[in-house]
Structure 1
Amino acid sequence: MKRYRTIIVDDEQISIKSISKIISHSQLPIDIVETFLSSKDALQFIQENSVDLLITDINMPEYSGIDLLKRIYEIDTSVSVIIITGFGSLDYAREAMEYGVKHFLQKPFTSSELIDSISKSIQRVDEKRASVLLWRKELVKSKIWGETLNETFPQPFTMMTYQENQFPSFHTLFDQYFRDNGVEYVYGILQGTVMYLIFKEESAKLEIPNSLSQKRGIVVVQQEIILEQAKETFYRAFPFYEKYFYFKNLKCFKKKDLEEEIQSLSISSIISEARGLVSENNYQTLERLILDLFSTAVKQLQAVSQLKKCSYELAKILIEDGKLDINVNDLSHTVEQLDYYLDIEEWLMKILRQSKAQKEADLIGKSISDSINLIVENNYQVSDLSLKWISKNKLFLNPEYMGKAYQKEMGKRFTNHLLEVRMEKAADLLKQGMRVYEVAEKVGYENNPDYFGQQFKKYHELSPSQFLKNLKK
């Protein structure tokens, strides 16, 4: 149940205690958040805090009850007021009514009279709050549309937005969350965007409700917004709605997240590098290039359109290179239909594997050395890689025959070439900052890292640790 924040202002402590006691013994949904002997102190509190109901004596030092009303009205017209007076004054009543005061209690009053006035006042609070919220919403919408306003309101507010297509699954849960937490809000839909506006300090404590955690989509929450910033705030969220592409569950972006600069993908350089790797049949490095592309994209939340365009171009290169039976004209539609980054990554890696397999199959009938060199380039990380492995898994030729043919064509033994490829790859990986045991696993020595160290030293005339030290010099 919604509870109403109430303050009591009276220069007599006994009156404050009496009113507080009556309220505490009632069943009214009232929270007395503060009491004041000074109307000046009360005004300062209202300037800094949200208040629903004010119960005040009209005859106060510093500011009279009427003066306090005038100043409060400038801050928040939705505050409901009960005037208590020790003398009946028609002039005071008329002036107070100009500020929306409906309830007057003359001392002494009964408990039932106070409770009845409070009950009617909090009904009035709800009516006034709803009216004020709607008025403020219209001002915010007008500001977003770029209209010149003759009215304004000083209070900062929170703007929470998400795409309209999420409304059926989001709104009921948000509404329940707001009600459960006593948060007053108003919402509207414009330009395909659902916008919640919250004007009280409860918004600072807002969290995405647990009931929404398994939903998928983007919610943008921007706090401490003033009316003049409404248009900029509203449109600043737009580029982030597509970021759901990187998340399986609901993601909430805050104002500070929107201010971080997002790096653009260098699509042309990635495509150029990919073409070079394909021409060299270097599918191992190409695979790493693709994985790094997606890893960087999700880490930096790069523009989804750019990542999809880059994926499309990479797929096109692989399909053409492997002469795959995939209609290139359908690629664009396929990419657009995939709405999660891991799905596109998996789709692209599948095409890479198909292209790689097709290229290896095409090599059968070409020179033995060309076929073996390509297989080594793409499989050097396999610990069991040997002529027997190639015979069993790739070329299906006699291992002894392949060994003799390879040595005749290349002028060196297969094992020497395999060692050369692995050690050169190992040096490259160490330069990239990998640890020695990680490199051993990457180049086919995961079962024998000590032997990797021996082979590395034999080939480079430096142990892996010495090699790393030289890099730091």
Structure 2
Amino acid sequence: MMYHTMIVDDEPLMRTYLTQSIPAFSTLFDVSAAAKDGLEAVELLKEIPVDVVITDIKMPEMDGLSLAKHIHENYPGITVIIISGFSDFEYAQKAIRYNVKDYLLKPLVDKTLIDLLDTLAARFERERGTARFRMTGTGAKRDPLRHRLLCAFLEEDTERAYHLYRELRKEGHSFMGPFACIAKFQCLYSASSSSLALHMLLDGACPQFGWIILCEKDGSVCLLADACSEMDLETELGRLYRTLLRESAKDLFVSIDCRCGKIVTDPFQLSASYNSLEETLPLPLAKAQGPFFHSHISQYRHALDRIEKYRDQLAYDLLGNAQEHWYADLKSLCLAFGVPLTGDRLWRCASYILAALPAGDAYTEEGRQRSLEDLAVQCKNAVRPFTPDEFAEALLAWLRLLFGQTALDGGLSPVILQAKEYIARNYQSNISLSDVAEHCSVSSSYLSDLFHKQLSISYLKYITALRMEQAAKLLKSHPDMRVFEVATQTGFLSDKHFISVFKKYYGVSPAMYQKSQASHRET
């Protein structure tokens, strides 16, 4: 299997290096096209099929982030790699929202490129292991042609879709009504037995509508739903969802999610409806009850933007192993929901976080399975909504299991890990070394010694650095926030003391820093 690559970079030397090096470093990759900017790449993508696009982040006309967005929306099967300099890396991380999970930092070295190609090849081989969709159940036996046609549409196999569509029309059958969408049903805390039971429930309920169902590899069930109007379609899907909830409560003892993609009028747009399901993933975190339609996104846009922002920040800190920020990131994320923090929502939040992480690279399959099994027990046993602190702590414990203790703690002692977590939760207060030591059940002198030995920094310098980083974030993201408010929110009792510490740390006053960040945004 040969994987085709496109290079997008405004520097001729970089284009030449990548074009020559990629096929030399791996027999599985070739370079099918090269472009000098994003606009040229957009035109080439219309003519040349590729599997991978490696793009610089900074280019004239259309930059790498805009190109990643275009590819995410129009060619979801293409893997995008971002090249950035160290100073641009934080900006490049915004591409996480466009499913970009791999980055190359300048200056490039051969080993980094070789490692990336090996990682991509292994990932692609895993993904090729089994087909995305499976036709099962009595519906597929009764109407195999329509099921095969739906598979072709969703897999964007245009040639096969045209052939099957003509065959269906010859037999005098229609494929779908005037309005249609792809709906995805999924068991929360899913086990294989629950997924099988869900499929059986849908297989029995859908014939009355004439709707087609397909199973996915992850155990979820995709449904082609259609009706004579958009209102009828949403009404019928809502009725089906409520029926499934009643039945699953009796038989499965788990909850079911139903997310619905964009409503379309052309069968060749069904893949777009399916791909738009990814945009509905955070909806169950902002909207209290399902089903969750793509059309609801505009109604909950403000909450969804905040949720996405905090999830992206968390993913950035997870991939960067910035453990001291994880608890604060999780707390900010759950406070953005605006709905009760139930066990179901805890599971959905973990799934949403997982969607932002590179599967197989950041964690092992064993770690994923073990951590989700542990989380499922917590979710099922929740008899009341979690407090924000409980919710964040449960997710933090899940992340520990997901990444594995060794990968997570970097060799740090449990006492230091506990101290860092406590500081991350309470740095806004005027906490002292003795407060942290008391929380960790050790003496102040012992904890102070651990900070020096394991972190090579004193407690005071550690908490000051954390407060300064958080203060800088507040000044950058809130141009109208007063300096004394920033001081209060970062654990300083006196704004004068805060100003003095900030100026010593960054070399400028908080007000000047805030002003410079505002000017930078305007330019």
Q: Highest Rg: 1 or 2?
A: 1
Answer yes or no: same fold by TM over 0.5: no
What is the TM-score when the length of structure 1 is the normalising length? Answer: 0.40
